[in-house]
Structure 1
Amino acid sequence: MSAFINEPPKTEEDYWVAKALLQSFGQTDADPRNGTHIKPTRPDHYVFETKGPRIIAGLAACICIMIAVTGLRLFLRAHVRRLEWGMDDTLMVPGLIMAVAYPALQIAMVQYGGAGKHMFDVTYIEYYYYHWLALVAQVDFFCCIGVIKMSIVVFNMRLTKFSSRAWTFGNWAFFAIVCCYVINAFFLNIFQCTPPHANFDYIAAGKLSYAPKCIGVAKMGTILRAINITLDYMLLAVPIIVLWKIKMSARQKLRLFALFSVGALACIGSAMTLVAKSRLKSDALWNYTDLLAWSLVELVCSVLAASLPTLGSLFSRGARETQASGSYESHLTFASSDYRSSEFRSAGKSRHDTHHSHHSDVESDTLGIMRRDEIELTSEIDPNERNPSFRFSDSRTWNPNNSKSRLNETPET
């Protein structure tokens, strides 16, 4: 049976883990056979306590929320005709897998690594599992957050596609920056020590005849999270700027800003992780729960921010059908930036030189944004003419017998 931290090792594995721990604290001359000396020490009249059950319950809830929200988003994209599947949806598939893997690894850390306990209640073997599971979870976290950011960037491309070339260039540049961030975060976490496996495997590190050389883990994590915070706020600014320019009612804007405010919570969670990291200097396995909580806030809110705009279309009203002598309805799609018009419906009465003022609701498949366009339609119908023509005020001709015709009109943003 493995010994507790700060006690003399009982097994060979205990010895190597104790040696690696002493090396990580810079105590290369200390004898591992005497055990480690990590604060805090066990107090007198101590009663065992653990945060494990509460941690597992919270992690399970996060897994259910992320699967439910993203699963519903992908279901809608695949089965609702007016919602077009895009690359942002494809990116959310690996994003969801990695997002679920992060709390799953945290559950394993509680079960096998002693997470949620005080250091003096953890054995050397438990700390061995905790250490390498924590590093794998950290790699997964940065990659997952990066992939979700890429999905949101692609969504922003769909949102701003018809605005200007500057938006297109800016979004692609931001996408490249996020890709570089993910690649650098992956390799920095994997190869932060020489040899690389010594960073993950404390038993292998203890067997080395020399102390592994590693990049400052705390400094590296702080830099990566600082970059992550900056990217979060830049990413959040794009839809806010676009929606601010769209002409819609204050109620509609408030509803959409409420959706995107979830992204602001992710930004707050990302910033608070830097504060929580400072508490890991002592009793790390007990105090790490603050860092875990804020990391989960960032992760879950990022998943929600990526999916809620699509789910918002469930609550948006469909385009209204207006019936008159000649009427039409059209749908605006951000993804393709075109109008899909339905057939004209005739009431069975002919009028000569009649003017109709028509209101049509234009709905975005991306955000569920409802927009009202007022278009004046003039019909000049000759009773002897088989194929009557309808003429718009800007002199464009619409053929009612061709239901696949499109209006080459660029919407305003």
Structure 2
Amino acid sequence: MASNMSDPLAGLIPPPNEVNNAHKVHSVAISCILLCVIASLTVFARLSVRISSERLGFDDYAIIPGTLLFIGWTVLAAYVNLNAGVGKPLWEITIAEYSLWYKGVVVSMWLYPIMSAAIRVSILCFYYRIFVTGNSKLKLPLQILLATQFLYIFVFSITPAFVCKPYHFAWDPLKHVLHCDDWYYYRTQVGLYSVSIALDAILFALPIVPLWKLKMPTKKRIGLIVIFLLGASSCIAASYKLGIFVNQMHFYVPTNATWLQHMMSRFIPGQWDKYGLTFWIPSQVEPTVALIGTSLPALGNLWTQTSQQISERWSKLTTLSGSKTSKEQNSGGSHNKAWASAGKFGFRGLAGSEVELVQGTNSNFKPTSTVKA
């Protein structure tokens, strides 16, 4: 009895010494990798279209470091989820796995703000390329937002440095609680995610007014607005992530009866039992949506180029078919020529300037952001 009073860990089940992945779930790591592949291929397609059409701009150069940082984030997510015990019952995780888990958390604190800011810079460069003409009213706001991204990186690269004293205890599972302030970590991360949402929301709303002023049919204007909003819609994913993060802190103190029988329940946050689904998946979805969304305007040209090729090939086929039947039906010749030139169903490939906001030959398709509001 006296022994139990002097040692609060007495009688508790110690952590395992050997790695046991019998009950491990790999779906989180697989999902992160698949999302990375989809987003990376989308960016690659965007750059290919811009290069082939000789329209490569600063926004395209800016998306490259953002994509590389996202790939690095994915490598981190996959490695931690596959090797740090994520996806297993907490009582089956070794101390070495918990140490690697904590290291993943530490790296994510520094990598996330740099990655998200880099993607945001690309979106802002795209807006600058499209909307800033002459003395556009959007020029100064866009410049301020670009400067804000570097301030954002600076501030949120400093705050993680004060989580633990000394810092090497950040990834020591048994001494972490003595030298680290998890609630400081919580508050700084809430601040980080909140600022990220605010910046994304500005990007979300910024293009609506200048796009609405475009001299083009209303239906096409609405379509362009939707495409641009998708590029900044990561604020929705970020809001979801923040909501989950705040909610999960309510489970910081473990309540699982089985887990409370184990020694590590006194050292590990209770919400880590769902960490893969509540942290890594939302954190992966957010940049994925941003990278895909910001590439959609450029990929509009890829769609029109492909549709033109299909239309031309179909026209050739219908022309050949028409020439074979013209000997039998002379009256249908003129109809077949019109049908061939338009393609089946009257389909016609659109010019690139009709899809993406670039300087083209269509004088009716120009931003009018300099027009007085």
Report if TM-score (shorter chain) is over 0.5: yes
Partner residue, 1:137 = 108
Select the structure that is richer in helix. Answer: 2
The letter of the residue matching 1:306 is: T
Alignment of 1:145-224 (within 5 A): 145-162=116-133, 164-199=135-170, 201-202=171-172, 206=175, 211-212=179-180, 216-224=184-192
Matched, 1:299 2:287: yes
Alignment of 1:349-368 (within 5 A): 363=353, 367=357
Contact 2:23 2:88 (C-alpha < 8 Å) held by counterparts? yes
Alignment of 1:2-401 (within 5 A): 34=10, 49-50=23-24, 52-81=25-54, 83=55, 85-162=56-133, 164-199=135-170, 201-202=171-172, 206=175, 211-212=179-180, 216-263=184-231, 265-277=233-245, 278-280=247-249, 281=252, 282=254, 283-288=270-275, 289-316=277-304, 363=353, 367=357, 372-373=362-363
- Deviation of the 1:231 alpha carbon: 0.4
Flag the structure with more relative contact order, 1 or 2, with Cα contacts below 8 A and sequence separation at least 6. 2
- Deviation of the 1:190 alpha carbon: 3.9
Partner residue, 1:412 = 368
Label 1:37 to 1:371 Cα distance change in 2 as closer, same or farther (>3 A).
Answer: farther
SS in 2 for 1:363: helix
- How far apart, in 2, do the equivalents of 1:126 and 1:115 lie? 9
- How far apart, in 1, do the equivalents of 2:113 and 2:139 lie? 26
Contact 2:84 2:97 (C-alpha < 8 Å) held by counterparts? yes
Label 1:207 to 1:266 Cα distance change in 2 as closer, same or farther (>3 A).
Answer: closer
Identity %: 21
- How far apart, in 2, do the equivalents of 1:146 and 1:77 lie? 23
- Deviation of the 1:186 alpha carbon: 1.8
Contact 2:231 2:296 (C-alpha < 8 Å) held by counterparts? no
- Deviation of the 1:221 alpha carbon: 0.3
Contact 2:85 2:93 (C-alpha < 8 Å) held by counterparts? yes
- How far apart, in 2, do the equivalents of 1:260 and 1:216 lie? 36
- Deviation of the 1:165 alpha carbon: 4.0
- Deviation of the 1:66 alpha carbon: 1.5
- How far apart, in 2, do the equivalents of 1:191 and 1:218 lie? 12
* Stretches of structure 1 lacking an aligned partner (at least 5 in a row): 1-28, 42-47, 319-360, 375-409
Partner residue, 2:320 = none
RMSD of aligned C-alpha atoms?
A: 3.4
- Deviation of the 1:196 alpha carbon: 3.3
SS in 2 for 1:311: helix
- How far apart, in 2, do the equivalents of 1:308 and 1:120 lie? 45
The letter of the residue matching 2:142 is: N
Label 1:57 to 1:371 Cα distance change in 2 as closer, same or farther (>3 A).
Answer: same
The letter of the residue matching 1:285 is: W
The letter of the residue matching 1:61 is: L
- How far apart, in 1, do the equivalents of 2:10 and 2:62 lie? 51
- How far apart, in 1, do the equivalents of 2:29 and 2:293 lie? 24
Contact 1:316 1:370 (C-alpha < 8 Å) held by counterparts? no
The letter of the residue matching 1:98 is: L
* Stretches of structure 2 lacking an aligned partner (at least 5 in a row): 16-21, 255-269, 307-350
Label 1:35 to 1:129 Cα distance change in 2 as closer, same or farther (>3 A).
Answer: farther
Contact 1:150 1:175 (C-alpha < 8 Å) held by counterparts? yes
> Higher mean Cα deviation, 222-231 or 97-106?
97-106
Contact 1:309 1:368 (C-alpha < 8 Å) held by counterparts? no
Contact 1:225 1:274 (C-alpha < 8 Å) held by counterparts? yes
Partner residue, 1:333 = none
Specify the structure having the higher radius of gyration (Cα): 1
Label 1:212 to 1:292 Cα distance change in 2 as closer, same or farther (>3 A).
Answer: closer
Label 1:192 to 1:37 Cα distance change in 2 as closer, same or farther (>3 A).
Answer: farther
- How far apart, in 2, do the equivalents of 1:31 and 1:309 lie? 63
SS in 1 for 2:137: helix
- Deviation of the 1:313 alpha carbon: 2.2
Label 1:173 to 1:125 Cα distance change in 2 as closer, same or farther (>3 A).
Answer: same
SS in 2 for 1:231: helix
